[in-house]
Structure formats: C-alpha cells, structure tokens
Structure 1
Amino acid sequence: MAGSSATPCLHQPVRSISLPSRLHPNSQKIEEQLSKLKTWKLSSTSMGIPLARETIQLGLTGLAELYNSIKELFHSPLTQNALLQHECRKLVEETLDGSIGLLDACGTARDLLLNMKKHLQDLQSAFRRRSTTDSSIETNVQAYITFRKLAKKDIVKSIRALKSMHTNAVAFNYLLNVDHHILMVIKLLRELSTLTISIFWSLLMFLSVPVMKTKANGWSLISKLVPVTFAGSERAQKVFNEVSNVDIALCYLDGNFRKNGAKIDVQMVQRRLETLDGVVDGLEGGLDCLFRCLIQHRVSLLNLLTP
C-alpha cells in the first residue's frame, strides 16, 4: 500500500465555478455545494492519514446532494443545447466513459462493505453463543482476517484505477473557443469527477488501514504495536480507526487461541465489533445513495447524446 498512500488532488486551490444564473435557477445552490465539497477535499487531503468516518460520510452526503442538483441542471434545455454543440459532444462522451470507472469504484466499495458486514455479523453471533467447546469464534476470526487480506488487494487495484482517472481529469485542456456559459458547465463536470474520485479515494483508504505484515509465527506488527496488556486497554483505540481497531483485536485473538491461560477481554472485542458494524451501516447508506446518483448521472449523459 505504500505506493498507493499518497492522496491525490493535493494543494489545489479552491476556485469558484461562477455558474451563470440563466443556465438554471439552482445555479447558486450548485455553486455553494461545490464550494463546500472543494473545501472538504482540501482539508481531507492535507491530513495525510485516513479520514474519520464522520468526515467521509459528510463527503458522501454532500456529493449525493450535488449530483441531484446537477441532474436538475441537465434537464435545462439551455444546458442540453450547449453541450450538444460540436465542440462539446466529445467531452460529454468522455465524461460518460469516465462514469463507468466511478461506478466501478463505488461498486468495489459497496461490495467490501457488504462482505465486511456479513463477517461482522457472523463474528457477533459466534461471540454471543460462545462456550468452552465452541470453535466457531476461532473459525470466524480466521475467516475475517483472510477476508481483510483479500480486501486490501481489491482496494489497491481500485486505488490505482482512481489514480489513472484523476490523472486524465486534471490533464484535460478546456476548450478556449466556446461560449463562457458552456465552458462553466464543462468545468463543472470535471470538478464533479475529481471530487467523486477524491471521496472514493478517502473511503478506500479508510477501509484499507496500514497493511500488517505477517510472519510464520503470526502478526509481527501486532506484537510490536500491542503488548500483552492490549486486550485490557482502550488506549490503542485512539490511535486507529474503527476498522483497524477490529483488525488488531482479532489478530491478537488469533495469536492467542492456542495459548493456555491467554487472557482475552471478550467484551471489548464485542464492543469494537458493534462499533464497526454501526460504521459500516452508515457508510453503506451513503454509498447506496451515491450509487443511485451516479446511475442517474450516467442516464442524463446518455440522454444528452441520444435525445
């Protein structure tokens, strides 16, 4: 992950699109929403660490609202006529092609959250019915760890795709010989793409957390970060996010299942599982809403090309 940890869109100034009001009555609303999201992007990319889930959820919600507002803008006859001019049609086609990549990134994140949810529910069920002879806890812990290893491979692949999309978006040269109003709409489409890429990037980084190297005798990084007293301490939770808190707790459990007399704070593990379960619910809701917006956006683009 080291090669994929640098966040895109760094140090880009916040500029106003200044959409002309005659394009649509919601132009000012769109401008305000766009400005908020660009401020969100600047604050998120300057941190250098995975964002808190509250910040990511705000980004998902704000982006969905912007897509909904732009959908209304696309229904404006003036906008439709402008984007169908010869100089702009190719740009609409390129944006349409790019929408596939955004849907793929959204689909990857949704699948990861769905699978994580299933594993979390299995773990919580195993802990609720635990007994001294029940091996389901160990089985489900190992299944979750395996899932997380595979998930990180999918995340790396998706992040690389987002990098490529971002490079293409920022390398785009705006047409200089088109009407100012058309130019503003074109810029809006490009801003929308880069903001969507940035938010998906932040979400995937939140889900990836630092890769934990393993050795034959277990999770070496865990033993360095977390001493034997880890299971009885909440202090480590302040350092990591909800995803890595569960990773660390379960990897610690996995390393102690075969140790006689190993002390395991089961209640703490259950609390962390419940917390992450709630986080996944919130992120799933935001992603589902955004996924519908991306579908509608693609439909709007298709309708522009096939009136």
Structure 2
Amino acid sequence: MAAFNPKSKNHYRVRSVSLPTRSHPSTIRIEQAVNKLKTWETSSSSFSKADKICLSLSGLKELHEGIEELLALPLTQQALSQHQQDHMVNELVEESVRYVDVCSNARDTVMQMKEGIKGLQSSLRRSKLRELRTETDVASFMCSRKILQKEISRSLAKLKHVDNKMVPLHLSNSEDDQLSIVLRALTEASLLNISTFSSLLLFLSVPVMKLKPTRWTLVSNFIYKGVLACEGERNNLNELEDVDIALGNLLIDDSGKDDGTERIESAQKKLEALETILESLENGLELLFRHLIRTRVSLLNILSAGTS
C-alpha cells in the first residue's frame, strides 16, 4: 500500500489559533488543545506510535468539545449565518462529513481486527503447533487483514482528497473577528484530523505477512528497518508487525528443535498486547466520532437557520 503523508501546505497552515486577549473560555480551550496536539505530533518522546495515536485521538476529542462550545455562542452563529455563502465556510462543512466517514470506517476496521485477534487467540489456546489448524487459522487472520486494507486505502484516499482541496485562509481579524476565530479553529481541526487519521490508518495498514515464511524471508521483510526479526530485535516495529513476526515464527518448520510451546506463548503475548492497543483505539474513535457528528450537526443547523 502506498504511504500517504499529508502535505505541508504553508499557504493555508495556521501556526496557532490567534485569539483576542479577552477570549471566551471555549477559544482558550481550543488553543490549548491545538498546541497540545502539535506538541505530541512533533515530540520525540519515548511514547510508542500507538500511544501517540491514542493521545492524539483524546486531544482531538478535547478540540472538538471546544469547537462545539464555540459554535453554540450566539455571536458565532450570527457570524456564520451572515457568511454562509463564503467558499471557506462551505468547504469546511463539506469536509466535516468526510471526517465522520473516515472515523466511522476506522472504528469498524479496529473492531473487526480485534475480533480476528480474539478468534486467533482462542484457536491457539486449543491448538498444538504442528496441527494443520494452526496454519489455517493464521491464514484466515491474514486474509481478513488484506480485506481490511482495501477499506483503509479508501479512507486514505478520502483524506488525500480533503488535503488537496484545503483552501487558503485569507480572512483577516479586522474583517470579522468572530468569523475569523471560527474559521481558524475549524481549519486547525481539519489539519489535525487529517494528520491523526492518516497516522492511525498507516499504523493499521502494515504489509500483511506471506504464509509459510522462512527465517530469511522474515529477516528480509524487516531488514530495511534495521532490525533482525529472527533474533528478537524489534525496537523499530509497531505492534502489528510484532504480531506478524510471532505468527511467522509459528509457521516456520523447526521440527525436531522444539515442540513450539515457547513460540505459541510468544504469539499469545503479542496478540494480547495488540488487542489492548486496539481496545484503546476503539474507545478513542468512538468518543471522537460522537463529537464529529455534533460538530457537523451544529454547522448544518446554524447554516440552515440562516436561510429560513
């Protein structure tokens, strides 16, 4: 799958939500959420990729809570109603539905992947390594991953479409203070939505391992990352890749060397770790989805009220 990295569009990227000194609490909350998200995005801390994504989902939820409060202000509603034909306003409303779709699809993908892991865990608990069923169950898990990757590709394409359509923000504070604040906040939210969702989807879309790998294929698959998977050096891998290596080790024919107990236990531990991460991602996506819906409904209600 081709990687998708949101472009750095300096012509519309806003460094911060420039707010008046005497701001409403909602605008201060938005500014704090934006700054926190940008700090996490550029941080080189010890957080894993999955941890950073979970933090970003939580930060996005806080950001959209602030936006909901901002949209509830009479001054905001008046400003948007008076400028509802503005191209920037219309584009941001159109984008809101795409974020709802991407968030919903990402949540469904995580749920399906989690169910697949539970089924594989159950099978491994009942299986012995040299039973045919082990290979069949691993194959089924990998096949389901390939199917999910197609949906992930569609979601990435939607994000790329939005990213390419982002328009310049030329409105100055002197033109309309409240409208400027709202548009800047919504633009920042769009940029951070794209960044967070693309990171999540790329995390979930690592290449699916081929069945019946050899020790050499496991090494060669990950050598570009500077690790030797068969020797346990996995520092640069995310949790999905870690699971793939553990499952690949189950399928390597090491007959006569061991009964596979340690390899089964290792695979179980990796699956449990991934399941915990997916649980956190699912919870974060569920909460964010509700706020994305509310933001879109608020925008549509304000604009529809302006035409009545």
1:27 paired with 2:27, answer: yes
Aligned partner letter, 2:285: L
Using the alignment, how far apart are the partners of 2:293 and 2:26 within structure 1? 21
Structure 1 residue 222 displacement after superposition: 1.9
Which of the residues 297, 304, 307 maps onto 1:306?
A: 304
Match of 1:174 in 2: 170
69-78 or 22-31, which deviates more: 22-31
Contact 1:127 1:137 in 2 (8 A): yes
The residue type equivalent to 1:24 in the other structure is: H
Determine the structure 2 residue equivalent to 1:289.
287
Instruction: Give 1:276 shift.
Output: 0.5
- For 1:150, which of 147, 150, 166 is the aligned residue? 147
CA, structure 1 residues 39+251, in 2 after alignment: closer, same or farther (shift >3 Å)? same
Do structure 1's residue 202 and structure 2's residue 190 form an aligned pair? no
Partner of 2:25, secondary structure, is: coil
**Deviation at 1:78?**
0.3
Decide which of 260, 263, 266 is 2:264's aligned counterpart: 266
Task: Give yes or no for contact 2:65–2:291 (8 Å, CA) kept in 1.
Answer: yes
Q: Offset of 1:134 from its aligned partner?
A: 5.4
**Identity percentage over the alignment?**
37
Which aligned pairs between 1:217-232 and structure 2 lie closer than 5 A?
218=213, 221-225=217-221
Of residues 89, 94, 99 in structure 2, which corresponds to 1:92? 89
Matches within 5 A, 1:231-270: 235-256=232-253, 260-261=255-256, 263=258, 264=260, 265-270=263-268
Q: Secondary structure of 2:182's partner? A: helix
Question: Is the aligned partner of 1:41 residue 2:41?
Answer: yes
Q: Residues 112-163 of structure 1: CA distance to partner in whole angstroms, max 9, x if unpaired?
A: 1111111110111111122478544322211111122222333233222212
Are 1:145 and 1:250, in contact at CA under 8 Å, matched by a contact in 2?
A: no
* Distance across 1 between alignment mates of 2:130 and 2:17: 64
2:105 and 2:155 in contact (8 A); partners too: yes
Of 86-95 and 73-82, deviating more is 86-95
Structure 1, unaligned stretches of length 5 or more?
none
Q: What is the TM-score with the length of structure 2 in the denominator?
A: 0.83
Work out the CA distance in 2 between the residues paired with 1:6 and 1:93: 25
Question: Could you tell me how far apart the structure 2 residues matched to 1:302 and 1:6 are?
Answer: 30
Distance change in 2, residues 1:113/1:271 (3 Å):
same
Instruction: Give the Cα separation in 2 of the matches to 1:26 and 1:306.
Output: 23
**Aligned partners of 1:51 and 1:206 also within 8 Å:** no
Query: Matched residue of 1:239: which SS?
Result: coil
Deviations 1:239-298 (A, max 9, x none): 211111112222332354xx6446431111110011101111111111111111111111
- 2:94 and 2:17 mapped to 1: Cα distance? 23
CA spacing shift, 1:266–1:148, aligned 2, 3 Å: same
Letter in 2 for 1:253: L
Task: Say which SS state the counterpart of residue 306 (structure 1) adopts.
Answer: helix
| 1:85 partner amino acid | Q
- Does residue 102 (structure 1) correspond to residue 99 (structure 2)? The answer is yes
Q: Secondary structure at the match of 2:16?
A: coil
Which residue in the other structure is 1:163 paired with? 160
Cross-structure match for 2:137: 140
